[in-house]
Structure 1
């Protein structure tokens, strides 16, 4: 599934960035993936994926 249509970023890419550690905000995810947000609609989905990762880790 695409998380960010503007940058063609897929969910698995975001999950990999989260799992590699060091990325705890959408801005950090964008930086790790080497993209910049355009419309910003993906930020909510990225936050959801970050929250899911925290729930699993806890």
Structure 2
């Protein structure tokens, strides 16, 4: 499914650029950069954010790591910036 019509990015392309490690994209803008483009209108930011959160949840479940709301802010696996950050102005 196309999630960014400005750059013709699919949900599969977004998922493919998400990986573990310090260089993993943390914002929709970083996902765009990872895929060799930049955000244009910003309408895709929420959808990309949702894909990122679902991928993170899947990775946590695979690792057998279940974060509670209280540990999420300090968990090294949960470092996704708020939705307002990383959106082109």
User: Could you tell me the TM-score, scaled by structure 1's length?
Assistant: 0.87
> Whole-Å Cα distance in 2 between the matches of residues 26 and 34 of structure 1?
13
Give the match's secondary structure for 1:23: coil
Q: Detail structure 1 runs of 4+ shifted over 4 Å in the superposition.
A: none
Gaps of 5+ in 2: 61-89
For this pair of structures, how many residues does the alignment match?
A: 58
Give the match's secondary structure for 1:3: strand
Give the match's secondary structure for 1:56: helix
Larger Rg: 2
Bigger helix fraction: 1
Other-structure match for 2:34 = 32
> Whole-Å Cα distance in 2 between the matches of residues 20 and 29 of structure 1?
14
Other-structure match for 1:2 = 2
Gaps of 5+ in 1: none
User: Could you tell me the TM-score, scaled by structure 2's length?
Assistant: 0.60
> Whole-Å Cα distance in 2 between the matches of residues 17 and 33 of structure 1?
7
CA RMSD between the two structures: 1.4
